[in-house]
């Protein structure tokens, strides 16, 4: 079957189960994204530094556990990993309102909850992307990833909106309860997956470090996989710089209401959704690699519109630029993830996905730090230009790599890492 007309993943019952569970999980993630910091502020009188610490701890697990998680996921049944991760997140978030109702909630507990929740999310995300090829088949990866990236975009807009509404009308602790319930429902949904893959067999003499190194070699020694990682890292770096300082720009420097910032971010979510929806027809018309490389070059200058944010028409112009940037991110997420899944053997999927998670989350952490330092040294507006320039240049690694000339996805010849040399 040609790549332009892949089999629909919706015909696979297990994919429908995974999509439904991911919907619930995304809802819980986005509700808690809003509710937890608001709970810290309203119930525990947390200051900016303490709220920032909550945000930092939520991503720390990706840096600490990202690489070994991939090796562990490759050793385990993916469905079991997904269920345990969801149950862990449900229990963690359920402990927060319980402590609040018994008047024992502390910032220390919130710090522990977001850190451990991040650890569970590492395993859930790696296992979810690693199990997808076995559920839908490699020929259906593009439409399957398009559906999941579109779900993520909708979750970023609707889920955070729902979180804000729950906090406003039902209080933050009740919103956290709702997040816990969605994770529990997701875990129950995942028990319905039937086509479970077997974990890969491995040499008992192979160490965890050697397996992690094999995953790193697989990504960084292959020019296409390396280019995809570098492009995504640059996008994340630039976006995090911009997103970190946008609240200061909107509220303090421009005197705009918080709702204006919400609408600006919602425009980006719409762009992400449209990009995910358009990825498959663009790849069918232009070619998989040309869409990733050439279309990226065409849309790249739109990122330079973002630092022009001001009152009046410039707000709309900057919003258009942000929407176009997220549109390209949506297509990249669908086509790039599909390409790297097709180029990776089943036994390496967990480590490949974990390597990408480690690199991309590391870029987010660096971006937040850079934004803080540059914001103090050169000001908010100049720092936004740095972020815009990084997003503009992000297309270069893919554009200058063999990805740009790839017409279709590889079919049945996945690239595997070089065999470890005997010592």
CATH number at residue 335: 1.20.1250.20
Q: Point out the residues of the chain with pLDDT beneath 50.
A: 1-4, 412-423
Let me know whether 192 and 215 are in one domain.
no
Total number of domains constituting the chain: 2
Let me know whether 186 and 226 are in one domain.
no
Let me know whether 100 and 159 are in one domain.
yes
What is the three-class DSSP state of 423? coil
How does DSSP assign 302-336, residue by residue? GGGGGGG--STHHHHHHHHHHHHHHHHHHHHHHHH
Whether residue 104 is contained in a domain is answered as yes
Whether residue 180 is contained in a domain is answered as yes
Are 71 and 350 a contacting pair, CB within 8 Å? yes
Token pair in block for residue 396? 């270069």
Let me know whether 112 and 212 are in one domain.
no
Q: State the pLDDT at residue 403.
A: 85
Asked which of 168, 196, 224 is the last residue of a domain, the reply is 196
Asked which of 196, 224, 243 is the last residue of a domain, the reply is 196
Helix (H) or strand (E) run with residue 211 in it: helix 208-220
Q: How far apart are the first and last CA of the chain?
A: 44
Span 23-55, pLDDT tens digits: 888 888 878 877 777 787 778 777 655 666 776
Let me know whether 30 and 149 are in one domain.
yes
What is the three-class DSSP state of 12? coil
Let me know whether 92 and 162 are in one domain.
yes
Range of the domain at 392: 208-410
Whether residue 419 is contained in a domain is answered as no
Asked which of 170, 196, 222 is the last residue of a domain, the reply is 196
Long-range contacts made by residues 314-320, C-beta under 8 angstroms, separation at least 24?
Answer: 315/256, 315/260, 315/264, 318/264, 319/263, 319/264, 319/267
Let me know whether 230 and 184 are in one domain.
no
What is the three-class DSSP state of 344? strand
| 11-42: burial string, b at 16+ Cβ within 10 Å, e else | ebebbbbbbebbbbbbbbbbbbbbbbbbbbee
Whether residue 75 is contained in a domain is answered as yes
Whether residue 24 is contained in a domain is answered as yes
Let me know whether 180 and 281 are in one domain.
no
Let me know whether 119 and 250 are in one domain.
no
| Beta-bridge partner residues of 15 | none
Let me know whether 46 and 185 are in one domain.
yes
Whether residue 422 is contained in a domain is answered as no
Q: State the pLDDT at residue 231.
A: 92
Q: What sign does the CA torsion over 412, 357, 5, 407 have? A: negative
Whether residue 201 is contained in a domain is answered as no
Whether residue 202 is contained in a domain is answered as no
Let me know whether 166 and 35 are in one domain.
yes
Rounded CA gap, 219 and 354, in Å?
Answer: 10
Q: State the pLDDT at residue 354.
A: 78
Token pair in block for residue 91? 């229990």
Let me know whether 100 and 12 are in one domain.
yes
| Beta-bridge partner residues of 344 | 415
């Amino acid at each position: 079957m040609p790549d332009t007309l892949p089999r629909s993943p919706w015909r696979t019952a297990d994919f429908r189960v995974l999509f439904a569970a991911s919907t619930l999980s995304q809802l819980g993630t986005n509700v808690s994204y809003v509710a937890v910091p608001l709970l810290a502020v309203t119930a525990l009188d947390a200051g900016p530094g303490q709220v920032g610490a909550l945000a930092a701890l939520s991503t720390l697990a990706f840096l600490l556990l990202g690489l070994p998680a991939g090796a562990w996921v490759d050793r385990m049944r993916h469905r079991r990993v997904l269920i345990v991760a969801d149950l862990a997140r449900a229990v963690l978030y359920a402990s927060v309102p319980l402590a609040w109702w018994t008047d024992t909630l502390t910032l220390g507990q919130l710090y522990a909850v977001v850190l451990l929740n991040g650890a569970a999310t590492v395993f859930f995300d790696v296992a979810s992307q690693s199990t997808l090829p076995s559920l839908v088949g490699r020929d259906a990866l593009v439409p399957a990833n398009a559906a999941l990236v579109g779900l993520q975009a909708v979750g970023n807009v609707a889920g955070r909106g729902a979180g804000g509404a729950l906090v406003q009308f039902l209080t933050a602790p009740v919103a956290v309860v709702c997040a816990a319930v969605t994770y529990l429902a997701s875990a129950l949904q995942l028990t319905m997956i039937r086509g479970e893959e077997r974990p890969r067999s491995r040499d008992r003499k192979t160490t965890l470090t050697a397996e992690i190194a094999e995953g790193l070699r697989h990504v960084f020694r292959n020019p296409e996989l390396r280019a995809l990682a570098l492009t995504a890292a640059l996008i994340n770096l630039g976006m995090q710089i911009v997103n970190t300082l946008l609240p200061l720009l909107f509220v303090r420097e421009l005197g705009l209401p918080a709702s204006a910032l919400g609408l600006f971010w919602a425009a980006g979510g719409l762009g992400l959704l449209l990009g995910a929806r358009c990825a498959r027809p663009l790849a069918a018309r232009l070619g998989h690699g040309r869409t990733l490389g050439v279309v990226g070059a065409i849309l790249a200058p739109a990122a330079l519109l973002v630092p022009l944010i001001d009152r009046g028409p410039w707000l709309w112009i900057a919003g258009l630029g942000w929407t176009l940037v997220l549109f390209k991110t949506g297509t990249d997420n669908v086509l790039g993830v599909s390409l790297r899944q097709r180029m990776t053997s089943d036994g390496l999927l967990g480590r490949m996905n974990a390597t990408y998670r480690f690199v991309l989350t590391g870029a987010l952490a660096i971006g937040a730090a850079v934004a803080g330092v540059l914001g103090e040294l050169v000001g908010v507006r100049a720092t936004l230009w740095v972020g815009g320039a990084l997003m503009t240049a992000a297309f270069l690694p893919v554009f200058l790599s063999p990805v740009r000339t790839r017409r279709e996805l590889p079919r049945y010849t996945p690239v595997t890492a070089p065999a470890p040399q005997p010592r």
